[in-house]
Amino acid sequence: MPELTYREAVRDALVEAMRADEDVFIMGEDIAEMGGSMAVTQGLLDEFGPERVRNTPISEMAIVGAGIGAAMAGMRPVVEIMYEDFLTLSLEQIVNQAAKHRFMSGGQVKVPLTIRTQGGAGWSPGAQHAQQLEAWLVHIPGLKVVYPSTPEDVRGLLWSSIYDENPVVFFEHRLLYPVKGEVPEKLEPIPLGKARTIREGTDVTVIAMGPLVHRALEAAIAAEEEGISVEIIDPRTLQPLDEDALVESVKKTNRVVVAHEAVTRMGFGAEVAAVLQYKAFDYLDAPIERVGAKFAPLAFAPVMEQFIVPHAEDVLEAIKRTVGK
């Protein structure tokens, strides 16, 4: 199979969708000539022109609002919010408009809008450019929330998001863009709401999201050296959540660690822990461990930033605690 970076896989999904369907177009700040702040949309203007690759004013409210209107009118817009921190400026449109119209119209109005955004720590962008806010959006009925961790998944899930009839908030992590991985020769859509088993194991399940999938793999290799077999599950889609896959894994291993880069307090891991406590309580041989960032704004200073965010070592420590080592 060919190998693509995460960045190339996102671009490939956009290109394939735009070639296949003239109703698909993209818009956002500096996505045309500049190719986006993270170089994801480079080259798309040359192929598709300014009608379908649109630079926008610096107004996240306007970007999302225009996307909602276009989606309700029958288009399939993909709008880019440069940093997920800036989603906060468009929450009225996302929460009160995009998420509600299909329900309030009795299904007569569809909103096939995809909102791409990126963020995350690890390169010292400071407190206003690196937050992980996925749990905020999972809380809103009417939205779907996707957070892929590999090139194969980001390509297949972005395609499925574009062709979903509901608004989808699509999270990408800044540090994942250069990550390489094998992808199928032909783009294969991945259904929303299906988790992926990244690694089989028997002693403990680690449910990880985004960059923590890769850090969990590092931790699993280290744990194996100490005789601990670790299974890793990537939900990929946070809403809808593949609860059955998570429960089945925990029934097998009887222990679980939930890991994400967002702060632990009220993070998505809390919801996963609640689901497992309700659906798999009798199978748990130890308390559920949660790994996340410390409850503090992300510092600009690299040393302080690294102190706040979780690492492979944190996942390994949680694994060892849950198995009693």
Delineate the domains of the chain, giving CATH numbers in brackets: 3-182 (3.40.50.970), 196-323 (3.40.50.920)
Displacement of CA 267 from its chain's centroid (Å)? 13
For residue 294, what pLDDT is reported?
97
For residue 127, what pLDDT is reported?
93
CA dist 310 and 292 (Å) reads: 6
Instruction: Provide the token pair at 29.
Output: 């700040």
For residue 325, what pLDDT is reported?
77
60 is a catalytic site residue: yes
Catalytic entry in 129, 173, 214, 260: 129
Q: Mind giving me the DSSP string for 7-57? A: HHHHHHHHHHHHHH-TTEEEEETT-SSS--TTSTTTTHHHHH-TTTEEE--
Cβ(187)–Cβ(156) below 8 Å: yes
CA dist 255 and 223 (Å) reads: 14
Collapsing DSSP states into helix, strand and coil, what is residue 113? Answer: coil
Mean pLDDT per 10-residue section of the chain, whose length is 325 residues = 95 98 98 94 97 97 98 98 96 98 96 97 92 96 98 98 98 97 95 98 98 98 97 98 98 98 96 97 97 96 96 98 91
User: Using alpha carbons only, what angle is made at residue 317 by residues 315 and 319, rounded to the nearest 5 degrees?
Assistant: 70
- Which residues does residue 28 pair with via DSSP β-bridges, in sequence order? 55, 80
51 is a catalytic site residue: no
Q: State how far the alpha carbon of 157 is from the alpha carbons of 65, 83, 90, 114, 169, in Å.
A: 23, 20, 23, 11, 11
What is the enclosing helix (H) or strand (E) of 306? helix 302-308
Pairing mode of beta strands 144-146, 237-239:
antiparallel
End-to-end Cα spacing for the chain: 40
User: Using alpha carbons only, what angle is made at residue 40 by residues 59 and 312, rounded to the nearest 5 degrees?
Assistant: 100
For residue 77, what pLDDT is reported?
98
What is the enclosing helix (H) or strand (E) of 230? strand 230-234
For residue 299, what pLDDT is reported?
93
CA dist 260 and 80 (Å) reads: 23
Catalytic entry in 8, 29, 60, 134: 60
pTM: 0.96
